[in-house]
A and B are shown apart, each in its own frame.
Chain A
Amino acid sequence: MAFLRGFGCYLPARVVDNAELAPMVGADPAWLLHATGIDQRRFAADGETVSSLGTEAARDCLERCRATAGEVGLVIAASGSGEYRFPGPATAIARGLGIQGVPAIDLPMASAGSLFGLSLAGGLAHQYGNVLVVGSEIMSRVVRLEPPSRDTAILFGDGAGACLVSAADGFAEIRDSLLASDGEFAEALRLCLDAPLYMDGRTIILHASRKLPRAILQLLERNRLQPYDVGAYILHQANLNLITRVAHAVGAPESRFFRNLARYGNTSSASMLIAAAEWRAGSQEKLAQPVVFAAFGAGLNWGAVLAVPPGAMP
């Protein structure tokens, strides 16, 4: 059994609104908002790194959970934009927290990384106690603001999120998770070593539109839950239109799908945990209904995690 203790996040201080971004990409600010649904995003400062953002999010998470770094038994860090081919940011985040000797694992998966980390943490908590899951990205350094990459570049922002999963207690029990991968479309969304982020948007949206709702519905069905039973859906914040379509396909009220994309853009693996931190900060201390986390991204990798109020389900 594993529990969610809490979340945290870190957003770089520099806010880049559409008025600032528009001249960089040769577009009109109103068009940027219309095309993306994004008002503003954050860009990391020159001295910031993927691991420094992740460390700040982890600190925020531990503080919100009233936990100390010394209680952490395992670190899982998801990122697709790390500065090095290896090592990934996991060990640097652990070092930044002052944690020595505990395993620190990287998931170089981009958008779905935090979801996979959350699921893995749920399975490993009984062995490691408190598992810290971090998603951290500096997407502004892996996109190119000029054509033909412009339409992809305008979607992304920088940030980090974190979650503490515990074997002992928490505000929600991780009840079940459904993860899936399909390498047949790996080339559709990729970050090569010597080129900016590439995304075949049509293929990605087509697959995400079908795979995400299917994963959520399968997860709910095997736990004998209806879409309406879920109080909150916390999705990877990839695209407002996609979230709306997932809500319709699942058959749950759109209002239950948390959204903060307009303020941060798509922060890849960080987005779901940033959303979770904001959702949790705005929700009641005691969880009243199940919550579903879901993400889709490069790989292709996708899935959903179900968490329920402790003791709510047999």
Chain B
Amino acid sequence: MDNKAKISRIVKSFAAEPVDPAPGESLFESGLLDSFSLADLVTELEKEFAIKVPDSDLVPRKFDSIDRIEAYVASKS
């Protein structure tokens, strides 16, 4: 499973609805993620990809779409 597929699976596990978001779709504007599920999502990304998200990177727009999350994970790997 590639990173995009892993990220999609994680996003769906925290999403408010059982849908497949498009890679560039805003997870916040679409209502799939709220403030609290975002915090859970970041924690799960750290576990799945064995990365550490520093406080300085706790910026919601970095995690606003599957594409952005993928780019962020790639930058940390």
A residues with CB within 8 A of B: 182, 184-185, 200-207, 209-211, 241-242, 245
**With a CB–CB cut-off of 8 A, which chain B residues contact A241?**
36
Q: Given A209-B36, A210-B39, decide whether A202 and B55 contact each other with a Cβ distance below 8 A.
A: no
Q: Given A245-B36, A245-B39, decide whether A206 and B60 contact each other with a Cβ distance below 8 A.
A: yes
| Contact yes or no, A202 B56, CB < 8 A | no
Which of the four size classes fits the interface of chain B? Answer: 10 to 19
| Contact yes or no, B58 A207, CB < 8 A | yes
Report the nearest B residue to A300, measured CB to CB.
B55
Q: Given A182-B55, A202-B28, decide whether A209 and B60 contact each other with a Cβ distance below 8 A.
A: no
Interface of B is mostly: helix
| Pairs across A and B, CB under 8 Å, 12 listed | A182-B55, A201-B35, A202-B28, A203-B60, A206-B38, A209-B36, A210-B39, A210-B43, A210-B55, A211-B55, A245-B36, A245-B39
Excluding A205-B35, A206-B42, 9 further A-B contacts by CB distance (< 8 Å) are A182-B55, A184-B56, A200-B60, A206-B39, A207-B55, A207-B58, A210-B39, A211-B55, A245-B39
Interface residues as binary, B31-62 with A (CB distance below 8 Å gives 1, 0 otherwise):
00001101100110000000000011011100
Report the nearest A residue to B43, measured CB to CB.
A210
**With a CB–CB cut-off of 8 A, which chain A residues contact B39?**
205-206, 209-210, 245
Interface of A is mostly: helix
Complex Cα spacing A245 to B55, Å: 18
**With a CB–CB cut-off of 8 A, which chain A residues contact B43?**
210
Complex Cα spacing A245 to B59, Å: 19
| Contact yes or no, A203 B36, CB < 8 A | no
What is the CB-to-nearest-CB distance from B15 to chain A, in angstroms, rounded to a whole number?
15
Report the nearest B residue to A203, measured CB to CB.
B60
Complex Cα spacing A205 to B40, Å: 11
**With a CB–CB cut-off of 8 A, which chain A residues contact B56?**
184
Complex Cα spacing A185 to B60, Å: 12
What is the CB-to-nearest-CB distance from B10 to chain A, in angstroms, rounded to a whole number?
16
Complex Cα spacing A203 to B35, Å: 8
Counting from the closest, the 8 A-B pairs by CB-CB distance are A205-B35, A209-B39, A202-B60, A202-B35, A206-B58, A206-B39, A201-B35, A207-B58
Report the nearest B residue to A184, measured CB to CB.
B56
Complex Cα spacing A288 to B28, Å: 45
**With a CB–CB cut-off of 8 A, which chain B residues contact A210?**
39, 42-43, 55, 58
Report the nearest A residue to B63, measured CB to CB.
A206
What is the CB-to-nearest-CB distance from A222 to chain B, in angstroms, rounded to a whole number?
20
Report the nearest A residue to B59, measured CB to CB.
A203
What is the CB-to-nearest-CB distance from A267 to chain B, in angstroms, rounded to a whole number?
20
